[in-house]
Amino acid sequence: MFRQGIRRAGSIRRNYHVLAIETSCDDSSVALIRRVPNGPPVLIDHQTETLDTVEAGGIIPTDAKSHHQSHLAPLVQRMLQTNQFRPELICATRGPGMMGSLSAGFNFAKGLSVAWDVPLVGVHHMVGHLLTPRFFSNGQTPKFPFVSLLASGGHTMLVYSKSVTEHKVLANTVDIAVGDMLDKCGRELGVRGNMIGKHLEQFVNSGPPGETHSIPEELEFPNPLQNQKGRVDFPAFSFAPFISALRIAAAKYFDGNLLALPEGDRRELGRRIQRAILYHLVSKVKVALVKADIDPSTTDFVLSGGVASNSLLRSLLEEHLDDWFAFHFPDPKWCTDNALMIGWAGIELFESAKLETDLAALNIAKWPIDELLDVDCWIKH
């Protein structure tokens, strides 16, 4: 049987194939990976179906669950029919995320594990994000320990990773995530789409050369956690004040109606609010790194999560931290939720940590990354 054939003395004995499934939110994503011992992994196939949330104006959990239930099985079926082999390891997102979405993917993965009699690894979604660059270097870079900024619509945290299973949060958001705030501000400015934060970046960069605007120069946005003793050097992020600041500006300068502004004015407002949000993020990263006394000479820096694709964020990090770190910026297409990251994280957990997941495991909606091994149903092999 596979369970004996793939392992001997704790090491991988031959090539094997991995089916990865990611359904933590609104993307039904699957991937096939060929794992080659002592060689680089090979992405054989990767497919994603994303829920259309434009009309709803956001993600409705029940719609996301139905989307996964409708699309996931056909995606896997087509992938396996095209590639004509059976995977020997299943990796699927166990948490954190929306329970309905997680259950659709994780329960399907458990069924395949039973049907094929192959191991299952339940993967932490955020661990998948921060390990993504290691897929493309066959686990060589970034080397442990390294620092990751996980910036997405659901999470904003700075993490120090000592190994595949040891992660310490250096800074977290005290309210909402950076991606969520970019979405909210973009929506206020009339930006529409499935990924409003991404469309906001495109919108502010789409103006013609020399475009004029009538936004007052004195209209500026805040850098939160700066105005009280003990908060300036507090290693945390706060994004909720930005939407209030935008609405206050709208009432003060534009009679509360931003949508009536000319496109050039809305673009300039979007440019300013996006820069303010991302500058706050970077400035607080710097505070957290100083507080944690991280040695940059021996530490790499990974930017991951959906907001990691933002070019302004990348340039601000390089501008303010370039003297400190070697940066690892994944290709933008691998920054958003995807099954490749789940497959690679599962491989690292399976090979390096010798872990797999018991079939009695349940989804975990809230799963702190620094408590990766504290949940039940891990099996050591």
pTM assigned to the model: 0.91
- The pair phi, psi for residue 6, each rounded to 5°, is -85, -20
Q: What angle do CA 286, 288, 289 make, to 5 degrees?
A: 65
Q: Are 26 and 53 in contact (CB under 8 A)?
A: yes
H or E element at residue 184: helix 178-188
Distance CA 109, CA 135 (A): 22
Distance CA 14, CA 5 (A): 8
Q: What's the token pair of residue 24?
A: 């933590």
pLDDT values of the chain reduced to their tens digit, one per residue, 381 residues = 344 445 433 445 578 999 999 999 989 999 999 998 778 999 999 999 888 877 777 788 898 899 989 999 999 999 999 998 899 999 999 999 999 999 999 999 999 999 999 999 999 999 999 999 999 999 999 999 999 999 998 899 999 999 999 999 999 999 999 999 999 999 999 998 878 999 999 999 998 988 999 999 999 998 998 766 656 678 999 999 999 999 999 999 999 999 999 999 999 999 999 999 999 999 999 999 989 988 777 689 999 999 999 999 999 999 988 777 788 998 989 998 999 999 999 999 999 999 999 999 999 999 999 999 999 999 999
Find the helix packing angle between 240-254 and 263-292, rounded to 10°: 150
pLDDT of residue 5: 45
H or E element at residue 357: strand 355-357
pLDDT of residue 9: 33
pLDDT of residue 324: 72
Distance CA 237, CA 239 (A): 7
H or E element at residue 159: strand 156-161
Distance CA 207, CA 282 (A): 26
Distance CA 269, CA 273 (A): 6
